[in-house]
Amino acid sequence: MNIEKYIFNRNKSCLKDFKTDDSNGYDSIDEAKSDLQECKKHISKLQDILFAHKKYSLLVILQGMDASGKDSLIKHVFSGVNPQGLSVKSFSTPSAEEFSHDYMWRIMKALPERGHIGVFNRSHYEEVLIARVHPEFLNKQQLPQLPESENEFDKFWNTRFDDIRNFEKYLKNNGIIVLKFFLHISKEEQKRRFLRRIDKSKKNWKFREDDLSERAYWDKYQEVYEDMMHKTSCDYAPWHIIPADEKKYARPIVAEIIKSKLQSLDINYPKISFKEKRGIIKAKKILLNEDKVPLKQKKNPSLG
C-alpha cells in the first residue's frame, strides 16, 4: 500500500485532491476484509511488544463529519488488541468542569501512558473546527478576552494552531507518537447513512436532530477542515485523509498505516540481565521439583 498518497501536504494539498470513494486498489470487499484481518494480527503482536517495551505510546486521532464511520472503525480495527494496553476516549461537548479549565486540560488527562495505544474519537481539534463554525461556543470557555473583529479572530485561531503544533511536537519529543486520520466522506454518503439510521429501528439511537442542523454547515466545515490541515499537518504528525464512503475499504487503510508506524519504532521485548536469567533458571528447577521439595514461604517483612 502506498501510504504517502493519503498524507495531506500542508504546502501543496487541498481536500478536493482526495477522493471519498477510493477503493485503494481492492478488487472486492472480501479482499479488503482479508487485508484487515492480517493487519490486525500484526497490530496485536506489535502492541504486545509496545506494552512490554514501555518507552513509547501511540495516540490515534480520528476526526470526520457526522456518520463518517469513526465508531465502527474503532470497533473493527482494534478488536484484536489486548484491552489492557488500549484506551478509547470520545470527546463530546465539554462538561462544566472542563469548561472551567483550558481547552487542552481534558486532552492531557486522557493521553495514553507508555506502552499503550490511545484512540481519540474527536479530539482537541474540535476547538478549531466546531468552535470556528460556531464561535459563540467560545462564550462558555471563560477566556480572558474574546476576539471581536475578523482580524482578531484570525489571530485567535492562528494562536490555537500554534498551540496544537507545539503540543504535538511535545508529545513526539516525549515518546507519544501521533497518528491523525480524517475520515473523508461525501455529502451524499452522509445523507444515505442518516436515512439508514432513521429507517432502521436498531440504529435510531445514533441519530440526533443536531446532526441535521450541523449538516447545514457542510461547506463551512469543509473549509475549516482544510484550513486546519494546512496549519497542523506536520512531518512529525501529518494528517492522513482516508476515503470513507465505503467503510470496509477505509478500515484496512487505517490499519495498515497503524501497523507500519508501529513497525517503524525501535521496540523490542526487554532484555533481562545475567542475574535475572540465573534467577529464572533457578525458579524453573524449583517448580519442576516442588513435589519433592516443598516451596518455602518467605516471611513478609511488612509484618515482621
- How far apart CA 121 and CA 28 sit, in angstroms, is 28
Query: What torsion do the CA atoms of 166, 171, 175, 176 make, to the nearest 10 degrees?
Result: -140
Average the pLDDT over 156-176 and give the result.
Answer: 98
What are phi and psi for residue 243, nearest 5 degrees?
Answer: -60, 120
CA distance to 57, 169, 194, 214, 235, per residue, from 254 (Å): 17, 22, 23, 26, 18
Across all residues in the chain, what is the average pLDDT? 94
What pLDDT, in 10s, does the model give residues 169-195?
999 999 999 999 999 999 999 999 999
Please indicate whether residue 302 or residue 47 has the higher confidence score (pLDDT): 47
Least confident of 129-143, 208-222, 286-300: 286-300
* Amino acid identity, position 185: I
- How far apart CA 6 and CA 47 sit, in angstroms, is 23
Average the pLDDT over 60-68 and give the result.
Answer: 97
Q: What confidence score (pLDDT) does residue 297 get?
A: 67
What domains are defined for the chain? Answer: 3-272 (3.40.50.300)
Q: What confidence score (pLDDT) does residue 209 get?
A: 83
